[in-house]
Amino acid sequence: MWGGRFDKPPADVARAFTRSFPVDRRIYREDIVASRAHAAMLGRQEIIPARSAEALTEALDNLLVELDQLGGPPVNADDEDVHSYVERVLTERIGDHGRRLHVARSRNDQVATDFRLYCKGFCLRLVTAVLDLLGVLARRAEEEAETIAPGFTHLQVAQPVTLGHYFLALFEMHRRDVDNILYAYTVADVCPLGAGALAGVAFDIDREFVAEELCFSQVARNSLDAVSDRDFVSAVLQACVTLSGHLSRWAEDLVIWASPGFGMVRFDDAFATGSSMLPQKLNPDVAELTRAKAAAIAGAATGWHATLKGVPLSYALDMQEDKRAVFRVEDDVLAALRALTGALDTLTVNRERMAAVAGMGHSTAIEIADYLTERDVPFRDAHAAVGRLVRLAEDRGVELADLDEADFVEADARLSADVRDRLDLPTAVARRTSLGGTAPARVREEAARATRWLRWQRDHVQDLVGRGLPPALQPSARAAVVR
């Protein structure tokens, strides 16, 4: 491909170190689709003979079908990268027509185009998987709208909430993930093809035609930036870091909740593992490995950021590491997301135990402070009075509701026995009716709103798939994904 300048081939160790084919063979579909658009444009602009453009497009179409059936390019191919593999195969099959494909194109703008296409597709695969999780969360929120659950701060029981409210909190976290992923999609949705190596090209090319053929919404406006920009990679990786961090946080909750000390949930056998020695074990390995994958994803993203910050404009081979980072992250985040979605979908809730834990530590004490505040007691005075009652109950080893009426009056004369009516868990939860609160009525409202949003977002993503990816790269046409 570039041997004319050199008197000798690269040393075996140098070639093994620099070649990227074992990694980037994964984007063979994107390279073929982008090459087809480029060939069509070259013929349309009469930069190459029409017969060459026709031969190229036909050969590229045939190669795509063939590689899909094989599951991708052969692993043992000796090419430098997937781009040289495709060009070599074309040249072997159609001779000089294949040699004309690379006019008005550099591997610099070629690989940037291919990988932008890949990252757009990854974003749409990822957001679809997140929407599947959100569907489970919305359904379970409705199912558990009245289930009393402990709300924690500092891993101490703080106030009772409903389990549906907890699931809606996760819904909000992952709704933001959808926003982040779709933002990354827009960052990737720019076509750099036609920028050449870095300075543009001297031929009368039609970059807008190529962008339209490849379903890009924009054309890169500066050739130097077009080949050096990898912000889209950083945006994709950062969206995955945030998503996997969210998954890790509630995976940790499930690990704790499933432990014998809490016993509030149980993993389905299909999403748990056992012990090779201890026959009684039911281990939450799906949730545990999610935490580890989150760390690996953060590490891959950090490594990529450290790589990119030292690369001067425009292109250097450091940047081929972008694919290694994205592929590793893609595999980890999608696997964790799908496994944890299944675990949540089949999770069994021990409602009695969950309510018992929710009542620990005088979790409804704030109800007494609210009672006093309603009677014009300054909140700090009410807080201090309830604190004395909590200390008294702890000293006696009883619950707040078990204290004598005289104890309440001694703490504050404006307290009376009817304050006990507020201390049971369902009453305390039902009183939290503020917008965004945990009252069952509010939870049902928010679950319905979440379901409506989810329906709209699914339609939106499906529309993006239809107009944002060439037909050959859409999920329905993707016969194989190379790993």
Collapse the DSSP code of 340 into the 3-class scheme (helix H, G, I; strand E, B; otherwise coil) and give the result.
helix
Q: Which residue in the list 83, 84, 106, 154 is annotated as catalytic?
A: 154
For the question of residue 275 being annotated catalytic, the response is yes
> Residue 463 maps to which CATH number?
1.20.200.10
Q: How far lies 419's CA from each of 4, 392, 408, in Å?
A: 90, 17, 9
Q: Within this chain, do residues 33 and 121 fall inside the same structural domain, yes or no?
A: no
pLDDT at 100: 97
Peptide bond connecting 476 to the previous residue in cis, omega within 30 degrees of 0: no
Q: Are 375 and 273 part of one and the same domain?
A: no
Domain end, chosen from 80, 99, 118, is at: 99
Same domain, 379 and 462: no
**pLDDT at site 2:** 59
Pair type for strands 218-219 and 190-191: parallel
User: Considering 217, 259, 275, 416, which one is annotated as catalytic?
Assistant: 275
Residue 68 lies in a domain: yes
261 and 294 fall within a common domain: yes
Q: State CA 191 to chain mean position distance.
A: 24
Look at 477 and 391; give whichever has higher pLDDT: 391
> Do 243 and 124 fall into the same domain?
yes
Average pLDDT, the chain: 95
In DSSP terms, 151 is beta-bridged to 159
Instruction: Quote the pLDDT of residue 275.
Output: 82
Nearest-angstrom CA–CA distance, 253 and 256: 5
Residue type present at position 454: L
The answer to the question of residue 433 being in a domain is: no
Q: Is residue 208 part of a domain?
A: no
Choosing from 76, 99, 122, the residue where a domain stops is 99
Strands 190-191 and 148-153: unpaired
Q: Do 325 and 386 have their domain in common?
A: no
Give residue-wise pLDDT tens across range 258-299.
999 999 999 999 999 988 898 888 899 999 999 999 999 999
What torsion, rounded to 10 degrees, do the Cα atoms 463, 467, 469, 473 define?
A: 70
Q: Are residues 93 and 120 in the same domain?
A: no
Domain that holds residue 404: 365-423
Please measure the distance between the N-terminal and C-terminal CA atoms of the chain and give it in whole angstroms. Answer: 26
Query: Is 354 part of any domain?
Result: no
pTM here?
0.94
DSSP letter string, 231-272:
HHHHHHHHHHHHHHHHHHHHHHHHHHHHSTTT--EE--GGG-
Q: What is the CATH number of the domain that holds 92?
A: 1.10.275.10
In a domain, 144, yes or no: yes
Task: Give the number of domains in the chain.
Answer: 3
Active-site residue flag, 434: no
- Judgement on whether residues 417 and 345 belong to the same structural domain of the protein: no
